[in-house]
Amino acid sequence: MNLEPGLHPEDVRLAAAGPREVTLYTRPGCHLCEEAKVAIAPLLREFGAALLEVNIDEDSVLRERYGWDVPVIFLGARKVAKHRVNVEQFRRQLRDAVQAR
């Protein structure tokens, strides 16, 4: 894959993500990450969205980028939550993203 200098493959993947693609940046042992995953699971089913979990500890760039600021949730290419998820706000964001397509 040919990337622009300084562009991480994860940035490319996020830029191309669709409105039903949810990315959860996480790490093992993160209780807030587990809480976020449980909180958004019913909404993912409701809107037919796919979840991709990315363990930031497996990539030095992502570990540096997010550090202890996990979980971080992206809806498509847009960051929509960090640390805790407001379920109603996430539902609106997911609904709006799906309807905009």
State phi, psi for 29 to the nearest 5 degrees: 80, 5
The residue among 18, 25, 29 whose CA lies nearest residue 61 is 25
CATH class for the region spanning 10-80: alpha beta
* 46-95 pLDDT per residue, tens: 999 999 999 999 999 999 999 999 999 999 999 999 999 999 999 999 99
Give the full edge-to-edge strand order of the sheet including 50-55: 50-55, 21-26, 72-75, 78-82
Domain ranges of the chain: 10-80
> Is the overall model pTM greater than 0.85, yes or no?
yes
* 2-55 pLDDT per residue, tens: 445 568 999 999 999 998 999 999 999 999 999 999 999 999 999 999 999 999
